[in-house]
Amino acid sequence: MTRSIGTRVAIVVALPTLLLALLLAAVALQSEARTATLWLLALSIPVIAATIAWAAVRVMLGRELARVGSALREAAAGNRSLRLPESTGVTAPLTRAFNELQDRIEKSFSRAHDALEFQAMHDALTGLPNRTLLMDRLAQAIRTAQRGRHSLALMLADLDHFKEINDTLGHPVGDAVLQQAAERMRHVVRDSDTVARLGGDEFAFLLPTANDAQARRIAIKLLRAFEAPFVVDGHSLTVGASIGISVFPQHGADGSTLLRRADVAMYEAKRGHRGQALYEREYDLHSARQLAFRNELRTAIAGNQLLLCFQPVLDLASNEVSGVEALVRWRHPRRGVLYPDDFIPLAERTGLIRDLTLWVISSAVEHCHAWSSLGLELRVAVNLSAHNLHDAELPRIVDRILAGDGRERSSAPVKLRFEITETAVMPGPSQAFEVLNRLSAQGVRISIDDFGTGYSSLAYLKRLPVDELKIDRSFVTSMVHDSDDAVIVRSTIDLAHNIGLRVVAEGVEDEATRELLAAMHCDAVQGYHIGRPMEARELVTWLRERQG
Ligand code: C2E
Ligand code: CA
Ligand code: CA
């Protein structure tokens, strides 16, 4: 141990003082010289001693402090392992404090390091491992499976209708659904399995020792875990899932192949509404076809393969056709006529829905002008997708289309209506509100389509610039025989009237339904019994024949 500063000072000061005292004593013994001088000398001893002591302390303390100082500089430069040797002198508290500080820095540094590492490997919203960590564990699991000659399964799960919820109820609700979904998934698998969030509503499961049969069983358990609705902010939301499974080694020898094939299987499960699917080679061909299909749709919109049919809407009070609904068809060069359900979902997934909708609006407006010049004044309704309501440009473009791009129009202004589903305008998305309000201010009317199939209430819809409600055909078609459906239709009509909305019943397939609806004071009806969707020219003939 180093000698303390006090000891050193004592030595340094004591020695010269002792020498001086001895010198004085010798002088005093030899002569009886002037006592006063001696006293003066004697008095000066402590002064000299103190000066010497001060100088010594300064030098030694300076050295100690310099040692601590250079240690601090080194620590500041990033040396977290540096510790000072313990001293017992006056700088002891300082060295102790320095060492404690270093300990603390070391600890919080390693905590921060751990947190950063966790962040880099996990998803912030759900706390689940992310893609990076999954791929890491997958590679490791493949090596273990190779050595142990066993299989492993990778599953990809994608939530159904999640995008709809996110777009319509807003991101906080979407986030809460994802968190609850993650929790349910964690409960289904074992601790040795990995559940990861790959992004958006896509999750992956690594089952390090499972074969295809075991993976399927877990997939079924997972689907069951999604049967109960998710409750968020008072909304009860049904969120299904589609699961794709790929198995090592039969479906791929490396992580990225397994992931890609699980993805292909997942799309197959979604497409066929099957819940879960195990990868098969022919699915790959199918996904290639999807890609080709998308390109074909792009060509169809740009070229003239799309066509509009119009279905009449009959006013019950006046028995007049007050308007028509435009329904799009695709005259596919090889496959014949395709119906919206075959290609609208694809258009929505690929962003082609914007161009498709603009084509439908322009074409519907064109037809309206043509009918107008024949003396037929009809309001034309166009269906919008939720995506269209998030397009801030839509009102401006609609305005341009209605203005006929500056061309002279002799006919009356077109009466346009948009049909939107209730889920497309659920609480939350202010963008959709803004778009609807601007359209409404431009004189475009808005209907709620397929009413009864979504989650919203009439009280909520009242806050939208909506003047019409279309009761979904699933309640109408069987209302004559199904008293529950009849009750739903009757109370919907009454409630809608109470808040000033006009009601259209869709899917009227026979006279009995039409009569029942008239008795319930429904405002208008639409359905095969009134008229099927027809091409524009056919519609004109049909209307003329009706007028007799
Ligand atoms: P929707 O808006 O509910 O349109 C009514 C659908 O019901 C049409 O099917 C129509 O043919 C059918 N329908 C009419 N009367 C009856 C009836 O009495 N009984 C039965 N069972 N069905 C009837 P379609 O044309 O196949 O359209 C299906 C859906 O595709 C439409 O449902 C609409 O949501 C969507 N859709 C159609 N055209 C467009 C479009 O231009 N853009 C967008 N975004 N969606 C469209
Ligand atoms: Ca519609
Ligand atoms: Ca409808």
pLDDT of 431-447, one tens digit each?
A: 788 999 999 999 999 99
CA 207, 208, 211, 212 torsion-angle sign:
positive
Nearest ligand (C-alpha, residue 470): 3
Per-residue pLDDT, 9: 61
Nearest ligand (C-alpha, residue 477): 1
Per-residue pLDDT, 84: 87
Q: Which is nearest to 414 in space by CA: 429, 423, 403, 426?
A: 403
Identify the band that residue 282 occupies on the pLDDT scale cut at 50, 70 and 90: confident
DSSP symbols for 390-402: T-TTHHHHHHHHH
Alpha carbons within 13 angstroms on the beta-carbon side of residue 108 total 5
Question: Are the beta carbons of 218 and 205 closer than 8 angstroms?
Answer: yes
What pTM did the predictor assign?
A: 0.60
Per-residue pLDDT, 527: 98
Checking if the pLDDT of 69 tops 80, the result is yes
The mean pLDDT value of the chain amounts to 89
- Closest atom of ligand 1 to CA, residue 309: 25
Checking if the pLDDT of 327 tops 50, the result is yes
Tell how far the Cα of 303 is from the centroid of ligand 3, in angstroms. 27
Q: Which of 75-79, 290-294, 457-461, 474-478 has the lowest mean pLDDT?
A: 457-461
Checking if the pLDDT of 407 tops 60, the result is no
Backbone angles phi, psi at 350, to 5 degrees: -105, 0
Tell how far the Cα of 308 is from the centroid of ligand 3, in angstroms. 16
**Mean pLDDT to the nearest integer, 216-220:** 95
To test the ligand 1 pocket, which listed residue (383, 387, 388, 509) has its Cβ within 8 A of the most ligand atoms? 383
- Please tell me the residue having the least CA distance from ligand 1 atom 30: 340
- Please tell me the residue having the least CA distance from ligand 1 atom 14: 527
Nearest ligand (C-alpha, residue 382): 1
The contacts of residue 204 (CB under 8 Å, 6+ apart) are 131, 134, 154, 155, 156, 157, 194, 195, 196, 197, 198, 259, 262
pLDDT of 134-167, one tens digit each?
A: 999 999 999 999 999 999 999 999 998 888 788 7
- Rounded to 10 deg, the angle between the 353-373 and 340-350 helix axes is 130
Checking if the pLDDT of 482 tops 90, the result is yes
Which amino acids bring their CB within 6 angstroms of ligand 1? 311, 327-328, 339-341, 344, 357, 360, 383-385, 419, 449-450, 473, 506-509, 527-528, 533
- Closest atom of ligand 1 to CA, residue 419: 2
CB atoms within 10 A of CB 466: 23
**Mean pLDDT to the nearest integer, 313-327:** 97
Per-residue pLDDT, 480: 97
Instruction: Compute the distance between CA of residue 160 and CA of residue 174 in angstroms, rounded to an integer.
Output: 12
Instruction: Compute the distance between CA of residue 504 and CA of residue 185 in angstroms, rounded to an integer.
Output: 42
Per-residue pLDDT, 519: 98
Identify the band that residue 311 occupies on the pLDDT scale cut at 50, 70 and 90: very high
Tell how far the Cα of 376 is from the centroid of ligand 2, in angstroms. 22
Nearest ligand (C-alpha, residue 419): 2
Element (H, E) at 252: none
- Please tell me the residue having the least CA distance from ligand 1 atom 15: 527
Checking if the pLDDT of 513 tops 90, the result is yes
Identify the band that residue 2 occupies on the pLDDT scale cut at 50, 70 and 90: very low
Per-residue pLDDT, 410: 57
Q: In what order do the strands lie in the sheet with 194-199?
A: 194-199, 202-207, 152-159, 241-248, 276-278
To test the ligand 1 pocket, which listed residue (297, 314, 327, 394) has its Cβ within 8 A of the most ligand atoms? 327
Tell how far the Cα of 3 is from the centroid of ligand 3, in angstroms. 95
Question: Are the beta carbons of 155 and 205 closer than 8 angstroms?
Answer: yes
Checking if the pLDDT of 6 tops 60, the result is no
Instruction: Compute the distance between CA of residue 265 and CA of residue 246 in angstroms, rounded to an integer.
Output: 8
Per-residue pLDDT, 57: 81
- Closest atom of ligand 1 to CA, residue 421: 34
Identify the band that residue 5 occupies on the pLDDT scale cut at 50, 70 and 90: low
Q: Which of 12-16, 241-245, 470-474 has the lowest mean pLDDT?
A: 12-16
Per-residue pLDDT, 424: 79
Per-residue pLDDT, 117: 86
Tell how far the Cα of 431 is from the centroid of ligand 1, in angstroms. 26
Tell how far the Cα of 11 is from the centroid of ligand 1, in angstroms. 106
Question: Are the beta carbons of 159 and 201 closer than 8 angstroms?
Answer: yes
Checking if the pLDDT of 170 tops 70, the result is yes
The contacts of residue 427 (CB under 8 Å, 6+ apart) are 169, 170, 456, 460
- Closest atom of ligand 1 to CA, residue 340: 30
Higher pLDDT, 460 or 370: 370
Checking if the pLDDT of 3 tops 60, the result is no
- Closest atom of ligand 1 to CA, residue 526: 15
Tell how far the Cα of 110 is from the centroid of ligand 3, in angstroms. 60
- Closest atom of ligand 1 to CA, residue 348: 44
DSSP symbols for 275-315: SEEE--HHHHHHHHHHHHHHHHHHHHHHTT-EEEEEEEEEE
pLDDT of 25-43, one tens digit each?
A: 677 667 666 677 777 777 7
Identify the band that residue 267 occupies on the pLDDT scale cut at 50, 70 and 90: confident
- Please tell me the residue having the least CA distance from ligand 1 atom 38: 327
Identify the band that residue 8 occupies on the pLDDT scale cut at 50, 70 and 90: low
Identify the band that residue 1 occupies on the pLDDT scale cut at 50, 70 and 90: very low
Q: Which of 15-19, 184-188, 226-230, 296-300 has the lowest mean pLDDT?
A: 15-19
Residue 321: helix, strand or coil by DSSP? strand
